[in-house]
Structure 1
Amino acid sequence: MKKTITVIDTFGFLFRSYYALPPLKSKTGFPTGLLTGFMNFVSNIGKDFQTDYLVFALDAKGDTFRSEIYPEYKSHRPDVPQDLLAQLPVAIDWIEKMGFKTAIRTGFEADDIIASIAHDAKQKDLEVRIVSHDKDLYQLIEDDSIYLFDPIKKVVINEENCYSKYGVRPNQFTDYQSLLGDSADNVPGVKGVGAKTAEALIKEYGTLDNIYANLENIEKKRWKTLLTDGKEMAFVSKQLVTLSQDCHCIDNLEEFNLPEENPILKIAHILDEYDMNRIIDRVNKNGLNYKTKIPEPKVKENYEYVLLDNEDKLFEVINSIPKDTIVAFDTETTDVDAKNAKIVGFSFAYETNKAYYVPISHFYLGVGEQISLEASKKAIEKLNDFKLVLQNYKYDYVIVKENLGIQLSLYADTMILSWLLNTAEKIGLDYQVDKYFDHKMIAYKDVVKKGENFSNVNINEACNYAAEDALMTLKLFNKQLELFKDEENTELLDIAFKYEFDFIKVLANMEDNGIKIDSDVLKELKEKNSIHINELTIKIYELAGTEFNINSPKQLGVILFETLELPVIKKTKSGYSTNEVVLHKLEDQHAIVPLLLEYREAYKLQSTYLEPLFKLALENKDSKIHTSFLHTGTATGRLSSKNPNLQNIPVRSKVGKQIRKAFIPQDGYKLVGIDYSQIELRLLAHFSEDEALVEAFSHNLDIHRQTAVKIFGEEEADAKRSIAKSINFGLLYGMGSKKLGDTLGIPSKEAKVYIESYFEAFKDVKDYLKSIEDFAYENGFVETLVKRKRLFDFNSANGMQKAAYLRESVNTLFQGSAADLIKLSMLEIFKKYESNEDIRMLLQIHDELIFEIKEEKIEKITSDLEQIMENIYKLKIPLKVSVCVGESWQDLK
C-alpha cells in the first residue's frame, strides 16, 4: 500500500479559514477566528484524513520569477483585512513550534512548492494529498496519485470534479487558464474570451498550441479576432499559470513525519494566552486522531522556603554563605509607594532551590516570634558584603534606607536586565519567571486580603510568598547571564554594569531631593481655573439649549449630532465619537465647539495637575513634590515619571506656564536649567556625517536658518526658518509629506517638494535614514550611541506595524542616543557632587536637567556642569548646552 504525503497550501487555507469562521476575539481583543480554524484543522488530522508525511508550503516574501515575465502579475490585489494580517504570522509561528515541517523558497510561490513536492513525491511512488481548493492547483491532479482535499467541505477533488466544474481535464487546465486569464492574480489571458469560449476551444483543439496552429480553421470570426489580438498575452499567461516542478524536493522523507509529541499540547501555554482553551480541553479529553508519543509528565521542582524567626538561626545561615556568593534579596512592605511604606520583612536566596524569609513587623492576633529591627539591620549589613541581586532595586534601596538607615548594596537588578534584553516586553518578575521557567508565582492578591497589607499576612504564608520572590529572582538572574553570553547580547551586559545599575542611585537621589512647591500659587491657580470652568460650562449650556454632563462622550454626542445637527465625523460602537480630532474638524461649524475644546483643556489641567499637585504639596511637611522616575518606562530609553508625571505639564498653554511658576527653589538657592541644544540634530550630523550638517554645527551656525537657506535661499531664509525647523525635527520622527503638510497647514504636494529639497541640500541624510530602516528590518533591532538595543518583531508584524517599526527605528536611534548622553552626564554629575550640599539634581525633562544651586555658587558650579555635559562623549561635532537661571521653573524657559 502506498504511503501518503499531505501538502498544505498554507496561506490559501488560512485565508479561507479566516472567512469561514465568525470574527472571534480573545479577552484582550486580539482576533482569533483564523487561528481557531487552523487549530481545528490540526486537531482533526487523522480524522479527516490519514497521512504518513505532512508539510506546510509557504509563499516567500518579495517578487517571484513571474514578476519578471509580467510586472503587473498580482499587482491589483485588494488590501487584506488587518485582523487577518495580524493572525497570519502567529499561525506560521505555531506551525514550527508544534513541530511540523515547512517548505519555502525565495522567488517562488507556495503553489510552485506544492507542484514540485507533488512531482518529486510521485517519482517516489507516494500518494499526494494537496490541502487546498485553489483552482490554480487543479493542473496537478492525477487520479491515481495526486488529488486535492477541501479542508472546509472535507471532500476530495479529483479529475471528475475538475471536468464537471470547468469542462476540461486537469492536464488541459493551464491552457484553459491561459485563455481565460485570472482577474484575482491579474493574469491577462485573451481579452474578451470568457469561460464558455475557453472551454469550447479546449474541448475542440485540446491545447493552446493546437488552437493557434488551427487559427484559420476557427469558424467564429469574433473568436479568431480575439485570439489573434491576444496571442502574446495568451502565451505570457501560459507562463504565469504553469507551476514550477523543480524548486523543492523531499529527499529526506523522515523530516516530514508527523510530530511524535502531541503538537497542540506542545503549544498549550500559548493557546491559553489567546483564550483558545476549548481546543486544549478537547485534545486533553480525546487526544489526537493519529498516534503520538505520550509526553513525559513535567517534573515539578521541589522548592524549600525556610522561616528565620530566630536570631541565632538567622545569623547561622548568613554566616554560612560562602564569600563572593550571589545572593538574591527582596523586602516585603506595607505599601507600593516606597516613601510611605514600612518594612514588614525581607527574604534572600543563594542556593539552587532554597530561600529564606525573615519576619520583622507582622501584626495580627497570635503572631509568632519575629526578628527585631536592630538584628535585621545587622543581618542586612552582613548581606551587603555579598553580591546582591534584586528585582527593582530602587524600591528596596529606599525601603532599607528609610526604615533601617542602611545603604543597600547592588550587584545586579534583574528588572533592568529584562528591559535591556527586550525594551518592549513586560519586565515584571511574574511574567519573566513564567516565560523562562513555566512557573506561576504566588499572586499578591491571593496572599493579602482586600483592605489589608502585608503586615496582616500569616508569617508562614508570608514565608512562601516572600521566599519565592527571592528564589525566582536568583533563578532569573542566572538565566539572564546565559542569555547575555550570546554574542549579540554581551555588550548589553557591559552597559548594565557600566551605566544602568549605577544610574538607579541617581534616580533615587533625585526622588529623595524632590522639588519645592509654592502652594499659594497653586491654590490661586486652582481657584481661578475652577471659576473659568464654571463660566465655560454656563456658556456651553446656553449654546446647547440644555444642561448635560459635558464630560460624558455619549451625552455630548447627542447634543452635537442630534440636538445641534452637526455633521457626524465618526461613529463608535457606543455612539458618536467626540474625541479631540473630531472636535477640531467641527471647530468652524458651531460656536459651542471652541468652547468645548477650551473646557476640556481647563478640566484636564484642573483634574490632572492643579488639584493633585496642590494636594501633594499640602501633604508634605517640606512642601516638596517627590515624583517617581521610571528607568524602564520607555522603549527608547528616555526617562518617564509618575505620581505625579512632571514631564507632561503642558508647555504652550497659559495655565501650564503658570503651573511651572509654582515650582521654586529652597531659600538661599536658585533653579538652574541646563538643556542640550538641538541634541538629536547634532546626533544626525554625527551619525550621517553629512558634510553640510557637520559644517553648520562645527561653525556653531543656526541649523534651522542654514536649512532654510539651503531649501528656500538666502532672501527667504529668515521668513521660512520655522518651516525648516519643522522639517529638521519631523524627519527624525518619520514625518512624511502628509504629516508635514498638516503641521505647516500647506498641501502635502508642497510639503513633499520641501522634503525633496531638504534631501538635495543634505545629500547623505536620506541615505543614512534609509540605512537605519534597512538595518532594523534585516537584523530586527537598532542600537543607540552606547549600544543599547531596541528589538522589532518584523516577522510577526502586519503592514501597518512594519511601517510603524521602521519609523520607530529611526526615532529610537536619535531619541535613544540623546537619552544615553543625558544619562551619562547625570552619572558623572552625581559622582562628583553626590555629597555636596551646594547643588541638588531635581528633575530630568528629556534633554534638560534642572538643579537647585546655592546662589553664591551658581557661576562656578554651572560652569563645571556645562563642561561635563558638553564633553561627556566625543562626537564628530561639538555638543552644546544652554543655561538658564531663575526663581521658578517657568523662568528657565
Structure 2
Amino acid sequence: MKTLTIIDTFGFFFRLFYALKNFQNSKGEPSGMISGFANFIYSLENEYKSDYIIFALDSKGKTFRSEIDPNYKTNRTPPPPELLAQIPICIEMIEKMGFVSISKEYYEADDIIASVVKTCKDKDIFVRIITQDKDLYQLIEDGKVSIYSPISKNDYDEAACLEKYGVKPSQIKDFLALCGDSADNIPGVKGIGAKGAKSLLDEFGSIEEIYENLSLVRNERNKNLLLEGKENAFLSKKLASLYENLDLGNLIEKSIYHQKEPLLKVLEYLERFELNSLLKKLKTNPQNRNQNLGFKTTLILDENTLFKKLESFENESIIAFDTETTGLNVREAKIVGFSFCVSENEAFYVPLNHTYLAVPNQISMQTAKRALGQIYSHFIVGHNLKYDFAIIENNFNLTPPKKYADTMILAWLYNPTLRVNMDDLALRLFDYKTLHFESVVKKGENFASVELEKACKYAAEDAYITLRFYLYFLKKLEPTLLKLAFESEFNFIEVLRKMEQNGIKLETQKLQNLMQEFEKEIKLLSEEIYTLCDDKFNLNSPKQVGDVLFEKLKLPSAKKTKTGYSTDEKVLESLIDKHPVVSKILAYRELAKLYSTYCEPLLKLALKDENSRIYSSFLQTGTATGRLSSKEPNLQNIPAHGQYAKDYKSCFIAQEGFSFISLDYSQIELRMLAHFSEDEKLLEAFKNDEDIHSRTAIMIFGESNYETRSIAKSINFGLIYGMGYKTLSQNLKIEASLAKSYIEKYFANFTSIKSFFEKVKNEAKANGYISTLSGRKRYFDFTNAKPMQIAMYERESINSILQGSAADIIKLAMLELYKELNIDKRLILQIHDELIFEVKDELCENFEKRARDIMENIVKLKVNLKTSSSIAKNWGALK
C-alpha cells in the first residue's frame, strides 16, 4: 500500500509559529515558522515516508460554514505581524520545492483533506494527515487514515484517538457538537464540558440518539442544559462536519513525491534566515555533494585549456575573480596565480609563479596577461577588489574592468556592524568553513611555496564563495542599497586606489633632525619626572607609574584593581592640579608616543621609497558609520594638536612645484543636525553664517566669551555623540546639576532637537536600524540588549545618522572631484571631513575654487554646506 501525506498547512504553520515564536535572524526578521517548516521538510524522508505529498490550504474569504453560522471563527484575534510575515515565504517555499498545494474557494483545508481521504479509500492509498486540529480526528480509520502531530511526534490511530479524547473517531463531530470548540467559535451545548460529552456519547453514541432519548439522561442538570442547547448542538455538528465531495481532478497523480532533497531548491531562504544547522546537515549529506552545495576545483596548467574555457563564456557572464600573491602590500606583492568561477558547480585556479622544487610548468605571465584581459571584458565580481585591481595593474599594467561588483562592500551595506572578511562571512551566511590561509601556507613562507593541488583548492574556493556571496546579496540586499552600491560605492574603489597610489612625501632629513630634538626632550622630561618623584622607574609601565603616583606620592585615586591603578589620560588630566609631575608625565607620554608610533615607523617607510613617499591603505568598509579608516600606516590619526604636532606635521611636504590644498567641511555634523531636526533657530544661525557656538553660548548663558563659547562648543559637539549631563559634568569639571541645567537650557532654546533625538531613538527601537542620508543602514539589537547596551545603542543611533550622513556627503564629493583630478591635481589624504590635495602651484587658485564649489553643492540640504580651505607647502602649515 502506498502512503499519501497531506498537511493541514495553515494550522501547521500557526503551531510552528507559537512553538518557535522568538526565533529571528541577525537582521531581526522572524524565522521560527520558517525554521520549523524547513526542518519538517528535511525530516520527510525519514519520519514521513511518502509516495505522495499534498499541502491543503484554506481559501481566502468566507466559507460555507460562515453561512451556517455568521459567528463561525469570528472570535479569532488578528495574527501578529511576525506570523503574517512568514506565511508568504513558507508558501513560496512550497511552490519552489515543487510540492502540490491546493485550495478551494468557499471551503477550508479540512474539506480538501476529507475529500482526499475519500478518494484514496478506493485507490489502496494510506493517508497520513499532519495536523493538530481535533476536528480532523473524525477521519481516522485503522489501516486507512492516521493523524500525525508534528509537535508531539505522536501518531494517532483509532485507539490513540479514544485514549486522547475519550471518544471514537466517528464520534468526534458529536463530541464537538456537545462541548464546542472555542478555537473555531463552535458553541456546543453551554455547560457541557469534555467529561460530560464523553459520558453522554459512551451511553448514547451520537447527539441524534441523545436527543431521541433525552428522557433517559439521568443527570437532571445535563438534561436541562441539553434541552436549552439543542439548537446549538445540531448547529455545532454541522460546523464540525467535513465536506468530502470536492472535485480534486488528477490531484493525487500530480502529488507524487520524487524524494530528491527539495530544500536544495530553497537555499536562498535557508541562508537568508540563517538556518545554519540545517544548511550544515545538507552539506554533510553525501547525496547532496553535487547538488548546488558542492563544487569542483580545477587546476589549469595548459594555455589551450585556459582559453578554451574562457571562450566558452557568454558575453554577459558574471565571473567571480581572485588573486593569490606573495604578500599584502600591493606595491611590493608579486602575483602567484589567479582563480575564477562562473557557476556554483566548478571553480578554476591558474598558477603563474609558484616556486617550490619540482613545480610543474605553469601559465606564463604573457599568456596570463592575455587571459586576464579577456576575463576583464566580462562583469567581474570580487571580495576586496581594490586589492586585486592593484595587483593586476602593478603586475600586468592592466586597468580595471568597466563592470564590476565587490561582495565585501555588499556585505558591509547589508550589515555594517558585522565582520566582512571572507572566512567569517562564509561561516555566517552559509555555515561554510573556508580553508584558512594559515592552514595552507607554512609560517615564514608565502603562497608561492604552496603545492599546486593544495593551492588550487584554496584559491578556487575563494572564487566560488565570492560568487555565492554575490548571488546571495543580489537577492537579499534591498533595492535602494543595491542601487547605492552600483551607482557610487563600487565606483569609490577607484577613488581610493588612486589616493593610495599617490601617497604623501616625507622630508626625511627634517624628520631625523626633529627626532633628535625629541630624544633630548624625552630625556629631559624623564629626569624632571624622576626628580619630582624622588625615584627612578619605568615611565612606560602604567603599573610602575601608578605605584609612584598613588602609593608613594599619595595622590587621590580610584580603587586599585588586579592589574594596578589606572593612569590613563583621563585620570591624569583630573590630577593635573594635584602635583607638578602629572603634567610632565602627560608631556612625556605625548612625545614618546609621537616618537615611537609616528616618527620611527613612518621614517622607515619613507626611506624605503625612492621618492620618500608614504602610502596608506584606506578602508571603505572599516567603520559602522561609513567613515573611511586608514591603516599601515594610519595617516588619519596623526596628532593634530599638542605642542609637538605642528613640528611633526611640517615634515610632510609637497612635491617640488606643488602645494598642498586642504578643504574641510565646516561643522558638517552640526549642519546634519540642523537638516534632520529642522530646528528653526539652528537653521537660521547657519543661514546667517553665524558663529554657532557663540549663538549657543548666548542662548544658554546670556553672553558669549571665551569660557561660555568653549562650554557651548562642548555641548554642541557632545550631543551629536549622545553625551548626557554626567559626561558633560566630567568633561567640564562642574557639578552634575549645573551640567544638567546647561543641557536643559540648550534643548529649551533648540526645541526641535530634543524631539528629533527622541524620534531617532524610538524609530531605531521599532525598526532595529537607522538610515543615513544616502540610505545606508546601521542595525541595533535592542530586543536582546541589556539596559547599559540600550543606552549605548540610543547614543549610537543618533551619532550614526549625523556622522554617517556626513560620511555620505564627503564620499559623494570625492567621487565628483575624482573627475577633475589628473597627474597635476592629486587627492592624497582624506581625514574624515577634510580632503588634502597636492596641486601644481599655477593651478592651485582655480582648483581651490572649483573644489569648494563641488563640495558645497554636492547635495541639496535644508542648510548650506560650507568649507574652509588653506594652501601651504607642508602639512603643518595648513590651517
TM bucket, shorter chain: 0.5 to 0.7
Q: State the match for 1:637 in structure 2.
A: 626
8 A Cα contact 2:17 2:33, kept in partner: no
Over 3 Å counting, the alpha-carbon distance change for 1:502 and 1:54 in structure 2 is: closer
Q: Deviations over 1:194-244 (max 9, x none)?
A: xxxxxxxxxxxxxxxxxxxxxxxxxxxxxxxxxxxxxxxxxxxxxxxxxxx
Q: 1:652-691 maps to which residues of 2 (within 5 A)?
A: 652-691=641-680
The aligned residue for residue 745 of structure 1 is 733
Is 1:394 equivalent to 2:394 in the alignment?
no
SS of 1:337's equivalent in the other structure is coil
TM-score (normalised: structure 1): 0.66
Cα separation, partners in 2 of 1:469 and 1:53, compared to 1, 3 Å: closer
- Quote the residue 1:28 is aligned against: none
Compared CA separation, residues 399 and 560, structure 1 to 2 (3 A): same
1:661–1:888: 8 Å Cα contact kept in structure 2? yes
**Post-superposition shift, 1:861?**
1.4
> Contact 1:433/1:472 (CA < 8 Å) preserved in 2?
yes
Report how far residue 735 of structure 1 moved. Answer: 1.3
What is the TM-score of this pair, normalised by structure 2?
Answer: 0.67
Alignment of 1:795-814 (within 5 A): 795-814=783-802
Q: Matches of 2:583 and 2:853 in 1, distance apart? A: 48
Q: How many residues align?
A: 627
Distance 1:832 1:519 in 2: 31
User: Where in structure 2 are the equivalents of 1:341-420 lying within 5 Å?
Assistant: 341-409=333-401, 410-420=403-413
2 CA distance for matches of 1:365 and 1:784?
54
* Structure 1: gaps (5+ residues): 1-51, 60-88, 107-268, 274-279, 281-294
Percent of aligned positions that are identical: 48
2:619–2:628: 8 Å Cα contact kept in structure 1? yes
Closer/same/farther in 2, CA of residues 668 and 425 from structure 1, 3 Å limit: same
Indicate how the Cα distance of structure 1 residues 696 and 567 shifts in structure 2: closer, same or farther if over 3 A, else same. closer
**2:850 alignment partner in structure 1:** 864
Structure 2 residue identity aligned to 1:491: T
Q: How many angstroms apart in 1 are the aligned matches of 2:391 and 2:661?
A: 30
Cα distance between partner residues in 2 of 1:889 and 1:636: 27
Partner of 2:48: none
Aligned to 1:825: 813
SS at match of 1:849: strand
| 1:423-476, Cα deviation, whole Å (9 max, x unpaired) | 100101111111222211111111111111001111111111101100110011
> Is the Cα contact below 8 Å between 2:369 and 2:396 reproduced in 1?
yes
What amino acid maps onto 2:590 in structure 1? E
Aligned residue runs from structure 1 range 251-650, under 5 A:
299-300=288-289, 301-409=293-401, 410-484=403-477, 489-650=478-639
Letter in 2 for 1:337: N
Q: Check 1:377–1:858 CA distance in 2 against 1; reply closer, same or farther (3 A cut).
A: same
Q: 1:54 to 1:413 in 2, by over 3 A?
A: closer
Q: How far apart in 1 are the matches of 2:621 and 2:837?
A: 23
d(CA) in 2 for partners of 1:687, 1:704: 19
Asked if structure 1 preserves the Cα contact closer than 8 Å seen for 2:321 and 2:341, the reply is yes
Contact 2:21 2:32 in 1 (8 A): no
Contact 1:525 1:610 in 2 (8 A): no
Look up the match of 1:853: 839
* Larger Rg over CA atoms: 2
The farther-off stretch of 450-459 and 404-413 is 404-413
Q: What does 1:188-207 correspond to in 2, within 5 Å? A: none
Describe the SS at the equivalent of 1:680: helix
- After TM superposition, the structure 1 = structure 2 runs for residues 133-212 of structure 1, keeping only pairs within 5 Å, are none
Deviation of the 1:584 alpha carbon = 3.3
Deviation at 1:867, TM superposition (A): 1.1
Residue 727 in 1 paired to residue 715 in 2?
yes
Flag the 1:447–1:767 CA change in 2: closer, same or farther, 3 A: same
Equivalent residue number for residue 261 of structure 1:
none
Are the equivalent residues in 1 in contact too, given 2:694–2:704 (CA < 8 A)? no
3-state SS of paired residue (1:841): strand
- Residue 493 of structure 1: CA displacement? 0.6
The aligned amino acid for 1:467 is: A
Local SS of the residue matching 2:443: coil
Q: Which residue is 1:214 aligned to? A: none
Which residue is equivalent to 1:3?
Answer: none
Distance change >3 Å, CA 733–CA 308, structure 1 → 2 = same
Distance in 1 between the 2:742 and 2:554 partners? 40
Structure 2 distance, partners of 1:589, 1:56, is 63
Change beyond 3 A, Cα 1:553–1:99: farther
Equivalent residues of 2:809, 2:858 under 8 A apart: yes
Partner of 2:695: 706
After superposition, the C-alpha distances for 1:2-22 in whole angstroms (9 at most, x for unaligned) are xxxxxxxxxxxxxxxxxxxxx
Q: CA deviation at 1:356?
A: 0.6
Q: Which amino acid aligns with 2:696?
A: T
Displacement over 6 Å in runs of 4+: 52-59, 92-100, 295-298
Report the CA distance between 1:710 and its aligned residue. Answer: 2.6
Match of 2:753 in 1: 765
How much has 1:560 moved relative to structure 2?
A: 3.5
* TM-fit CA distance, 1:721: 2.4
Amino acid at match of 1:752: K
Find the aligned partners of 2:813 and 2:361 in 1 and give their Cα distance: 48
- CA RMSD across the alignment: 3.4
Change (3 A) 1:550 1:367: same
Query: Distance in 2 between the 1:747 and 1:651 partners?
Result: 30
Measure how far apart 1:740 and its partner are: 1.9
Question: In 2, distance between residues paired with 1:93 and 1:302?
Answer: 29
Name the aligned partner's letter for residue 742 of structure 1: Q
Residue identity matched to 1:843:
L
Partner Cα separation in structure 1 for residue 287 and residue 580 of structure 2: 68
1:635 counterpart SS class = coil
Name the CA shift for 1:716/1:399 in 2 (closer, same or farther; >3 Å).
closer
1:813 is displaced (CA, Å) by 0.7
Whole-angstrom CA distance in 2 between matches of 1:96 and 1:798: 26
Letter aligned with residue 739 of structure 1: T
CA contact (8 A) 2:697 2:709 kept: yes
Preserved contact between residue 570 and residue 582 of structure 1 (Cα < 8 Å): no
Whether the aligned pair in 1 keeps the contact of 2:616 and 2:634 (CA below 8 Å) is yes
Q: Note the C-alpha offset of 1:853.
A: 1.1
Moved more, 298-307 or 662-671: 298-307
Compared CA separation, residues 795 and 96, structure 1 to 2 (3 A): farther
Question: 2:572 is matched by which residue type in structure 1?
Answer: L
Any idea what SS the aligned residue of 2:649 has? Answer: helix
Q: How far apart in 1 are the matches of 2:633 and 2:746? A: 40
After the TM superposition, which of the residue ranges 524-533 and 574-583 deviates more from structure 2? 574-583
The answer as to whether partners of 2:434 and 2:461 remain within 8 angstroms in 1 is: yes
The residue type equivalent to 1:766 in the other structure is: K
